[in-house]
């Protein structure tokens, strides 16, 4: 069980966004991906649920193994894959529906036929992200009425309602105010009990605070991947050191 | 600046202001006549009764009002789904394909085709095979006018939906059709509904495509396969008739038409401001 | 391999074991098929737009074929239109269409440009909105209502004004003839009113595309407000304005109801603006319903085909002009 890539290359047309990435990511832990913008960390994240499929000109070479199967293999259904691998985006992006429907909408397709069951799962998920007390009395309100931080937690609830194994997070706090970001961060830490979390972060302190492992990307290459305290206290590579001490990026 | 240049400058900047005044003049005149003449024959009878034969006073346009509703509604039933789906193809599936570019081009160009031409084409395609003028033929003609316009409006509306909302749907393991219908279309429903209503308002005012398709009917329509009266054609017939009574009723019909179309517009603008349509 | 991917998920909904997995597989397969089906349905709808073009061209051409093969080029050169003796020539209608539309442009273009200049160069934001709104209202009035107004307001006005023109300019052939009111001039005026919104809003877009630094540069050189408009703003996006005028022309050529109601509908070529005439569109509106002989129908279809081709050509040209300006706008 887990995520591993072997000699992974990703191209945007002729430009190599990821160069020969081989990495093995631990389960039930938070792995932070850091690096200057354009280093390929988001691209890497998006290859893990094949989110790049719909973008023109993207080619993927090499293996991405999740639970032992190559997710770029022929018999893989992206729909099944994305149920296993959830995703949370940079900007909170609730659907134009009520709070409760935001969660139940996807469940319907995944075979939860009875409405009561869907609403029960939604309630569980909202409790899991600590939103239940704030919204239980207004579940039918439009999701856009929530604050930014609440919206982002709703998006997390939406993802975990499908019971994924892995949750990909693309800078989930960068659009939030510091207080809301703090709440989401604490939620993140609690999520690793049940999920494998991969977190792209633009913020090194955040990476240091919440993650168990950190991977440093630079210009499409994976420079270093170690336990977080080790990487920040004792980087093996000079380039990592330069980055974390703020000498560039 | 010398005096002459200053004078020219003053004079020439007055011209645009003058243009605005001249342009507004007919609008004022039309509005005043529409209200002043329109109310004279407007009463309960006008809205609820069939036309009376020549020479008999009274009578109304009830059949034409209902007929317009039927023909325009039917045109919407045919045209809106096709146009919205075509818009989905252009914005979601086709986007950068050559085919989409060609469809876009012709959808734009078709909007300039004279409506009378659409009318005789619909006559050839629907009336001749059916062997009769009909509500269906009128609706087909109007749908032909609606589709190119609404296809482009829908496409533009869909393109405003942010990419990350679509991706959020896909990332939940949903098939694309569900994302398109459940998320993308819903996100853009405000501008799409506005487009639908603008389109409906536009075809509701059309006369030329109906002359040889829906024709007209002095009585209640007899099913959708027979001729049907519409407000616009009735206004036309009464306007060019030599009878003062009918001329007056034409004005009342015109007033009703404008009120219905404006009412529709206001209704939609209120509905479009719906609860979920704004993103914070 | 797939099974491995979804083992153990959403245990809540599906029964455990092989049966649940089987159910999920079926659902995924169904989703793939639905996706493909939906894509093809939307493709079909997009193709319907193209089919519309094909149907229009095919129907007009085949239905007009009898007239086309019989008269060939002579159709547009002959000025006799006689349904009784089965002789059909389109010249009077081509004349009526072209002249009424060009006259309409003559009136509408200066006014539209004036309004557009006012909106983009002179008006304050407060004034701009209501005027844009009024122009939009003008565009939304159904053509039959313009016609109605034309019959009862404009035509009498034209009739009453004719003696005045004849007294002072009667020596000019364009003002001669009996005072009908229903005339080329009435048609041209009503067309002008109807195309002003089109030309105004499109040329306003064209003016809006002129970057502000162009204006500032002109003022910096000491040019006055008007000189800036005339020498910098208007020439900057000429093709956009030409496109606006062309689309206005396209609309005028094909406009049917309002023209039919005020032009008098006489198939004649006359030098006088005050004489009745007839356009291609108004001819179809008047005669198509009563045409019995196949040749008559066919001749009317050919008129429709000509009208279609001309407006198509104008719209295509205008479209090329606007896309060219768009590219220009991006570059600068």
Residue C16, pLDDT score: 38
A122 touching chain B per CB within 8 A: no
DSSP letter for C277, please.
B
List residues bridging with A222 in a β-sheet: A217
Give the gap in angstroms from C-alpha A40 to the nearest C-alpha of chain B: 18
- pLDDT digits 0-9 by tens, B40-54: 999 999 999 999 988
Same domain, C92 and C187: yes
DSSP letter for B53, please.
P
- In chain B, residues with a C-beta closer than 8 Å to the C-beta of C316 are 109
Residue B273, pLDDT score: 58
Listed residue (A68, A207, A91) closest to A149, CA to CA: A91
Q: H or E element: which one contains A103?
A: helix A99-109
Residue C326, pLDDT score: 57
Tokens of C251: 């609309």
**Pair B154, B107: CB distance under 8 Å:** no
Task: Find all residues with CB under 8 Å of C143, minimum gap 6, and list them.
Answer: B205, B206, B207, B208, C194, C255, C256, C257, C258
Give the gap in angstroms from C-alpha C24 to the nearest C-alpha of chain A: 8
Share of chain C above pLDDT 70, in %: 91
C10 — pLDDT class (breaks 50, 70, 90):
very low
* A194-201 mean pLDDT: 96
Same domain, C48 and C85: no
Q: What are phi and psi of C178, to 5 degrees?
A: -70, 155
Cα gap A119→A105, rounded to integer Å: 10
Listed residue (C78, C111, C91, C103) closest to C272, CA to CA: C103
* C276-298 mean pLDDT: 95
Q: Kindly provide the ipTM of the predicted complex, given to two decimals.
A: 0.94
Task: Find all residues with CB under 8 Å of A187, minimum gap 6, and list them.
Answer: A129, A130, A153, A156
Do C13 and A117 lie within an 8 Å CB cutoff? yes
Listed residue (C275, C305, C298) closest to C88, CA to CA: C298
Residue C9, pLDDT score: 40
A54 touching chain C per CB within 8 A: no
> In chain C, where does DSSP find H-type helix?
2-6, 18-71, 74-77, 91-117, 125-140, 143-149, 155-169, 184-208, 212-220, 225-228, 234-236, 238-254, 257-262, 280-287, 294-331
DSSP letter for B127, please.
I
List residues bridging with A18 in a β-sheet: A10
Give the gap in angstroms from C-alpha C184 to the nearest C-alpha of chain B: 17
Residue C21, pLDDT score: 64
Residue A79, domain CATH: 3.40.50.300
- Does the structure show a pLDDT above 80 at C325? no
Mean per-residue pLDDT over chain A, rounded: 93
Positions in chain B short of pLDDT 50: 275-280
* A51-65 mean pLDDT: 91
Cα gap A198→A205, rounded to integer Å: 16
Cα gap B213→B218, rounded to integer Å: 15
Same domain, C294 and C147: yes
* A228-240 mean pLDDT: 94
Residue B7, pLDDT score: 87
Residue C170, domain CATH: 1.10.3720.10
Cα gap A160→A141, rounded to integer Å: 21
Residue with tokens 């062309």: C246
Residue of C nearest to B173 (CA): C28
- In chain B, residues with a C-beta closer than 8 Å to the C-beta of A145 are 280
- Does the structure show a pLDDT above 90 at C24? no
Our count of domains for chain C comes to 2
Residue A130, pLDDT score: 94
- pLDDT digits 0-9 by tens, A103-136: 999 999 998 999 999 999 999 999 999 999 999 9
Q: Which domains does chain B have, with CATH numbers?
A: 63-272 (1.10.3720.10)
Do B239 and C281 lie within an 8 Å CB cutoff? no
Tokens of C308: 């279609």
Residue C50, pLDDT score: 97
Give the gap in angstroms from C-alpha C59 to the nearest C-alpha of chain B: 6
The answer as to whether A249 is a domain residue is no
Name which of B171, B180, B184, B191 to mutate to probe chain A: the one with the most chain A Cβ atoms within 10 A of its Cβ. Answer: B171
Do A93 and B165 lie within an 8 Å CB cutoff? yes
**Pair C81, C267: CB distance under 8 Å:** yes
Same domain, C221 and C235: yes
DSSP letter for A145, please.
G
The range of the structural domain enclosing residue C124 comes to 74-331
Give the gap in angstroms from C-alpha C15 to the nearest C-alpha of chain A: 11
**Pair B195, B159: CB distance under 8 Å:** no
Q: What are phi and psi of B272, to 5 degrees?
A: -65, -25
Give the gap in angstroms from C-alpha C40 to the nearest C-alpha of chain A: 18
- Does the structure show a pLDDT above 60 at C13? no
Q: H or E element: which one contains A216?
A: strand A213-218
Do A67 and C12 lie within an 8 Å CB cutoff? no
Give the gap in angstroms from C-alpha A55 to the nearest C-alpha of chain B: 11
Residue of C nearest to B11 (CA): C226
Do C1 and A83 lie within an 8 Å CB cutoff? no
Residue with tokens 């330069």: A242
Q: Which of C71, C99, C125 is the last residue of a domain?
A: C71
Same domain, C166 and C58: no
- In chain C, residues with a C-beta closer than 8 Å to the C-beta of A73 are 1
Among B164, B173, B279, the residue with its CB nearest the CB of A144 is: B279
Residue with tokens 């008098």: C264
Do B96 and A49 lie within an 8 Å CB cutoff? no
* C210-225 mean pLDDT: 92
- pLDDT digits 0-9 by tens, A64-77: 999 989 999 888 88
- Does the structure show a pLDDT above 80 at C317? yes
Give the gap in angstroms from C-alpha A205 to the nearest C-alpha of chain C: 34
Do C224 and B1 lie within an 8 Å CB cutoff? yes
Let me know the angle formed at the C-alpha of A199 by A196 and A202, rounded to the nearest 5 degrees.
170
- In chain A, residues with a C-beta closer than 8 Å to the C-beta of C14 are 111
- pLDDT digits 0-9 by tens, A81-99: 999 999 999 999 999 999 9
- Does the structure show a pLDDT above 60 at C328? no
Q: Which of C54, C71, C88 is the last residue of a domain?
A: C71
Long-range contacts of B28-36 (CB under 8 A, 24+ apart): B29/C149, B29/C153, B30/C141, B30/C145, B30/C146, B30/C149, B33/B251, B33/C149, B33/C152, B33/C153, B34/B251, B34/B254, B34/B255, B34/B258, B34/C145, B34/C149, B35/B255
| Chains contacting C (3+ CB pairs below 8 angstroms) | A, B
Residue A246, pLDDT score: 82
B171 touching chain A per CB within 8 A: yes
**Listing from the earlier edge strand, what are the strands of the sheet with A221-227?**
A85-88, A166-170, A196-200, A30-34, A213-218, A221-227
Same domain, C38 and C101: no
A13 touching chain B per CB within 8 A: no
The range of the structural domain enclosing residue A147 comes to 3-244
**Pair C27, A83: CB distance under 8 Å:** no
Q: H or E element: which one contains A223?
A: strand A221-227
List residues bridging with A33 in a β-sheet: A200, A215
**Pair B102, C49: CB distance under 8 Å:** no
B276 touching chain A per CB within 8 A: yes
Residue of A nearest to B164 (CA): A93
DSSP string, B69-85: HHHHHHHHHHHHHHHHH
Do B16 and C149 lie within an 8 Å CB cutoff? no
Which residues, numbered 72 to 101 in chain C, qualify as contacts with chain B under a Cβ-Cβ cut-off of 8 Å? Answer: none
Let me know the angle formed at the C-alpha of C283 by C281 and C287, rounded to the nearest 5 degrees.
130
C70 touching chain A per CB within 8 A: no
Residue C132, pLDDT score: 92
Tokens of A143: 């999701």
- In chain C, residues with a C-beta closer than 8 Å to the C-beta of B177 are 34-35, 37-39
Task: Find all residues with CB under 8 Å of B53, minimum gap 6, and list them.
Answer: none
The answer as to whether A177 is a domain residue is yes
Cα gap A249→A203, rounded to integer Å: 11
Cα gap B172→A153, rounded to integer Å: 15
Residue of A nearest to B178 (CA): A109
Same domain, C125 and C12: no
Same domain, C200 and C315: yes
- Does the structure show a pLDDT above 90 at C15? no
Residue-wise burial string across A2-13, b where 16 or more C-beta atoms lie within 10 A, e elsewhere:
bbebeebebbee
- Does the structure show a pLDDT above 70 at C37? yes
- Does the structure show a pLDDT above 90 at C327? no
Do B114 and C281 lie within an 8 Å CB cutoff? yes
Same domain, C62 and C182: no
As a whole number of Å, the CA-based R_g of chain C is: 28
* C44-66 mean pLDDT: 97
3 state SS of C190: helix
Do A109 and B168 lie within an 8 Å CB cutoff? no
């Amino acid at each position: 069980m887990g995520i591993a890539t072997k000699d992974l290359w990703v191209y945007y047309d002729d430009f190599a966004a990821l160069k020969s990435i081989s990495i093995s990511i631990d389960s039930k832990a938070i792995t932070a991906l850091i690096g200057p913008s354009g280093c390929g960390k988001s691209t890497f994240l998006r290859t893990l649920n094949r989110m790049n499929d719909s973008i023109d000109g993207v080619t993927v070479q090499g293996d991405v193994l999740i639970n032992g199967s190559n997710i770029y293999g022929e018999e893989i259904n992206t729909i099944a894959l994305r149920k296993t691998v959830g995703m949370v985006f940079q900007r909170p992006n609730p659907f134009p529906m009520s709070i409760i429907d935001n969660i139940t909408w996807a469940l319907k397709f995944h075979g939860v036929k009875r409405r009561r069951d869907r609403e029960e799962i939604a309630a569980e998920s909202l409790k899991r992200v600590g939103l239940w007390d704030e919204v239980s009395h207004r579940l039918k309100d439009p999701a856009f009425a929530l604050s930014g931080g609440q919206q982002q937690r709703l998006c997390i609830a939406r993802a975990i309602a499908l019971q994924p194994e892995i949750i990909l997070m693309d800078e989930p706090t960068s659009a939030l105010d510091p207080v809301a970001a703090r709440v989401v961060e604490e939620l993140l830490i609690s999520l690793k009990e049940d999920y494998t979390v991969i977190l792209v972060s633009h913020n090194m302190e955040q990476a240091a605070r919440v993650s168990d492992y950190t991977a440093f990307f630079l210009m499409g290459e994976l420079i270093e991947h170690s336990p977080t305290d080790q990487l920040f206290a004792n980087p093996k590579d000079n380039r990592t050191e330069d980055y974390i001490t703020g000498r560039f990026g | 600046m010398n005096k002459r240049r200053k004078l020219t400058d003053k004079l020439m900047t007055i011209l645009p202001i003058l243009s605005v005044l001249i342009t507004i003049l007919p609008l004022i005149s039309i509005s005043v006549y529409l209200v002043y003449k329109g109310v004279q024959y407007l009463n309960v009878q006008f809205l609820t009764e069939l036309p009376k034969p020549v020479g008999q006073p009274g009578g109304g346009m009830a059949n034409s009002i209902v007929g317009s509703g039927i023909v325009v509604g039917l045109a919407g039933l045919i045209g809106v789904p096709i146009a919205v789906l075509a818009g989905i193809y252009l914005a979601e599936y086709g986007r950068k394909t050559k085919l989409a570019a060609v469809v876009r081009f012709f959808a734009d160009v078709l909007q300039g085709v004279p409506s009378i031409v659409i009318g005789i084409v619909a006559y050839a395609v629907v009336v001749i095979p059916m062997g009769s003028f009909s509500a269906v033929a009128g609706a087909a003609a109007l749908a032909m006018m609606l589709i190119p316009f609404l296809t482009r409006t829908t496409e533009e509306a869909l393109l405003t939906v942010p990419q990350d909302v679509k991706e959020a749907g896909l990332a939940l393991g949903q098939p694309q059709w569900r994302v398109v219908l459940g998320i993308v279309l819903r996100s853009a429903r405000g501008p799409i509904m506005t487009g639908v209503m603008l389109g409906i308002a536009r075809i509701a005012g059309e006369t030329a495509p109906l002359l040889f398709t829906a024709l007209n009917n002095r009585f209640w329509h007899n099913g959708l396969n027979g001729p049907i009266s519409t407000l616009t054609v009735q206004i036309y017939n009464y306007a060019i008739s030599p009878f003062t009574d009918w001329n007056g009723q034409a004005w009342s019909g015109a007033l009703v038409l404008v009120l219905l179309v404006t009412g529709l517009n206001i209704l939609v603008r209120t509905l479009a401001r719906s609860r979920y349509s704004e993103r914070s | 391999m797939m099974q491995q991917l979804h083992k153990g998920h959403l245990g809540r909904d599906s029964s455990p074991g092989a049966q649940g997995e089987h159910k999920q597989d079926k659902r995924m397969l169904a989703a793939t098929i639905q996706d493909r089906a939906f894509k093809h349905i939307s493709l079909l709808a997009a193709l319907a737009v193209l089919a519309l073009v094909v149907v229009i061209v095919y129907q007009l051409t085949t239905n007009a074929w009898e007239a086309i093969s019989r008269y060939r080029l002579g159709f547009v050169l002959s000025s006799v239109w006689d349904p009784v003796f089965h002789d059909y020539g389109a010249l009077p209608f081509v004349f009526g269409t072209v002249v009424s539309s060009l006259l309409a442009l003559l009136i509408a273009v200066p006014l539209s440009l004036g309004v557009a200049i006012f909106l983009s160069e002179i008006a304050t934001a407060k004034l701009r909105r209501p005027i844009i709104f009024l122009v939009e209202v003008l565009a939304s009035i159904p053509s039959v209502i313009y016609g109605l107004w034309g019959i009862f307001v404009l035509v009498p006005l034209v009739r009453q004004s004719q003696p005045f023109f004849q007294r002072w300019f009667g020596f000019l052939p364009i003002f001669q003839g009996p005072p009908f009111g229903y005339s080329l001039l009435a048609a041209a005026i009503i067309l002008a009113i109807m195309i002003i919104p089109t030309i105004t809003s499109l040329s306003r877009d064209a003016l809006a595309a002129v970057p502000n630094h162009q204006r500032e540069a002109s003022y910096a050189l000491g040019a006055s407000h008007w000189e800036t408009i005339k020498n910098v703003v208007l020439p900057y996006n000429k093709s956009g304005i030409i496109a606006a005028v062309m689309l206005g022309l396209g609309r005028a050529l094909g406009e049917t109801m309002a023209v039919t109601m005020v032009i008098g509908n006489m198939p004649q070529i006359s030098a006088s603006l005050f004489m009745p005439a007839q356009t291609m569109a108004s001819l179809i509106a008047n005669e198509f319903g009563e045409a019995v002989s196949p040749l008559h129908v066919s001749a009317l279809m050919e008129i429709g085909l000509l009208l279609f081709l001309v407006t198509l050509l104008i719209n295509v040209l205008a479209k090329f002009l606007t896309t060219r300006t768009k590219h220009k706008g991006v570059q600068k």
